[in-house]
Chains A and B, each alone.
Chain A
Amino acid sequence: QQQVKQSPQSLIVQKGGISIINCAYENTAFDYFPWYQQFPGKGPALLIAIRPDVSEKKEGRFTISFNKSAKQFSLHIMDSQPGDSATYFCAAKRGSARQLTFGSGTQLTVLP
């Protein structure tokens, strides 16, 4: 019940295209859903996060869509750029817990 399942494992998109990464969870107690971005040789860094009281959150070209009934959330990167090439992790946290449960990661490559 603590798992977060992420897909696809890898994604190749042309510059200017839309990148979509999906995550699904089982534990209905999860109430915080962040996405972390990791560049090669660096640690993951928070990109954007959402709570279940909203269905969508947008920050620049990055949007999280959240479907509470389906227990799914996704990251959309509009107008994808080569500089977006990185590994993206979804994660989830329940209530007062302090630790995050991470998905398996998606390696995104944006071709110039």
Chain B
Amino acid sequence: DAGVIQSPRHEVTEMGQEVTLRCKPISGHDYLFWYRQTMMRGLELLIYFNNNVPIDDSGMPEDRFSAKMPNASFSTLKIQPSEPRDSAVYFCASKRGATDTQYFGPGTRLTVL
């Protein structure tokens, strides 16, 4: 299995621009999680989906952040407009059913200038 795939791996953008991060979960996994990692706040859960439906988005920091999962094999996290404080590494993770292990992607390092 290819594992969780994220793109792009690195993104540099200017303040005010729209940023879209992409994730392909492991085939057969029905849960998908978006995390943000920073030195100050560690690993924060932003939102998670079950069977393509958002279940808990309480970690989404602001209305500038939105996430979608149009099908079982694709999810996006969008930031519009982006701000320098959004600079972080964003991880996508997936898991199957009632199992506990989450499988993380390699992350997208976002830098907002």
Give the contacting residue for A46; candidates B31, B56, B101, B105; CB below 8 A.
B101
Question: Dominant SS at the B interface?
Answer: strand
CB-based contact A49/B100 at 8 Å: yes
Residues of A within 8 A of B13 (CB): none
Give the contacting residue for A98; candidates B48, B103, B105, B107; CB below 8 A.
B48
Stretch at the interface among A15-23, A60-68, A102-110: A102-110
Residues of A within 8 A of B (CB): 32, 34, 36, 41-46, 49, 89, 93, 98-100, 102-105
Closest partner residue, chain A, to B107 (CB atom)? A43
Interface membership of B67, Cβ < 8 A:
no
A-B Cβ contacts below 8 A, count: 45
Closest partner residue, chain A, to B58 (CB atom)? A99
The contact sample of 10 A-B pairs, CB cut-off 8 A, is: A34-B100, A41-B107, A42-B107, A49-B101, A98-B50, A98-B95, A99-B45, A99-B56, A102-B42, A102-B43
Give, as a whole number of angstroms, the nearest-CB distance from A52 to chain B.
14
CB-based contact B101/A42 at 8 Å: no
CB-based contact B93/A43 at 8 Å: yes
Closest partner residue, chain B, to A41 (CB atom)? B106
Q: Which of A32, A36, A98 has the most CB of B within 10 A?
A: A98
In the complex, A32→B101 CA distance in Å? 10
